[in-house]
Structure 1
């Protein structure tokens, strides 16, 4: 079964699989379909007449700020190897700073796509991607049919709006201390001056997310030394889900780096992720043909 989307452009590229996937061929051909300026679809299949294959489970990767394709590729390959297609969602700093004309537009585009597909879903998000996903949950509302198709959610270095200045300045100027501090002070000024155009939306989305808008089982990755996706904030999220009797567990390292846990702690990360996917039954086994 397929579902139609408009204006898809395909670019085929070769990608080397991670060394640990020793049973897999060293080279895979992936098709990269740009659905919107902020949303891409990756699949091993060639899509005909701008249609998405609904016979494969779909993983939604909510990227960290300015996450590039080569950085997201490793996560994409994990799920491609499991027989899934992958949707990546990214936003720019400007879209984060101005939610109503930025991140909320991207969230709406994502919702439009999810409402037109019927396959099993998994969310794997990073850093500010948690905020964009929360905006999408607000738009879906409670008891939306899309929510029932989400098997689970994985959050890696999920960041709170209070740490936006720190995270955004590092994303844009990782090696320029002066520029980084200037941007950090501007963001603080921006959230004060334009409180009702930014912070109000961040808080509303966060509260919706933390209150269990999506009751799918959750796996959290974080570290004690992460100043952006702090361990303390992630524990608040975990404890809130536990209180609401939503299955959740956390893997928290003493030392790691923001959105770099897979690279630094590869074996532990993959062990926890695969264990979680096995527990929730994702991707589901294909239905037997009668």
Structure 2
């Protein structure tokens, strides 16, 4: 995360941001690193069994695409419905902006697969 913060938020000060982030994580380890690690363990071991959709990319410094692929495969092996869309290049949390057609098509296909009751106006 420290590397990704530097690359994405302040690329001109990447080294400084990385070092300050690592210091912050060390000083507040219980409130940051330990907390995030616990959350990751829960995410892996006790996933919500509802269908899931993941959007991610290979060039994201804040999200390890190989770890995403690993958890997607793990959840599928556990019988969960998991859909995903991966791009070679995109922007962290900005896939809709970078790839609007593909994003919306994937999202629509996923939502249609859920067989949800159509929403109706209450008026």
TM, length-normalised to structure 2: 0.82
Change in CA separation of 1:230 and 1:256 when aligned onto 2, cut-off 3 Å = same
For the residues of structure 1 that align with 2:101 and 2:9, how far apart are their CA atoms?
A: 29
Q: What residue in structure 1 maps to residue 58 of structure 2?
A: 224
For the residues of structure 1 that align with 2:76 and 2:87, how far apart are their CA atoms?
A: 20
Q: Which ranges of 4 or more aligned residues in structure 1 deviate by more than 4 Å?
A: none
The superposition leaves residues 23-44 of structure 1 with CA deviations (integer Å, 9 ceiling, x where unpaired) of xxxxxxxxxxxxxxxxxxxxxx
> Is 1:264 aligned to residue 98 of structure 2?
yes
Cα drift, residue 172 of structure 1: 4.3
Q: What residue in structure 2 maps to residue 202 of structure 1?
A: 36
Alignment of 1:5-154 (within 5 A): none
Q: What residue in structure 1 maps to residue 118 of structure 2?
A: 285
The superposition leaves residues 8-59 of structure 1 with CA deviations (integer Å, 9 ceiling, x where unpaired) of xxxxxxxxxxxxxxxxxxxxxxxxxxxxxxxxxxxxxxxxxxxxxxxxxxxx
Higher helix share: 2
TM, length-normalised to structure 1: 0.38
> Is 1:190 aligned to residue 24 of structure 2?
yes
Cα drift, residue 260 of structure 1: 2.1
Residue ranges of structure 1 left out of the alignment (5+ in a row): 1-163
Are the counterparts in 1 of residues 8 and 61 from structure 2 also a CA contact under 8 Å?
A: no
Are the counterparts in 1 of residues 5 and 62 from structure 2 also a CA contact under 8 Å?
A: no
Q: What residue in structure 2 maps to residue 61 of structure 1?
A: none
SS across alignment from 1:195? coil
Are the counterparts in 2 of residues 211 and 240 from structure 1 also a CA contact under 8 Å?
A: no
For the residues of structure 1 that align with 2:88 and 2:77, how far apart are their CA atoms?
A: 25
SS across alignment from 1:237? helix
Change in CA separation of 1:286 and 1:254 when aligned onto 2, cut-off 3 Å = closer
Cα drift, residue 170 of structure 1: 4.8
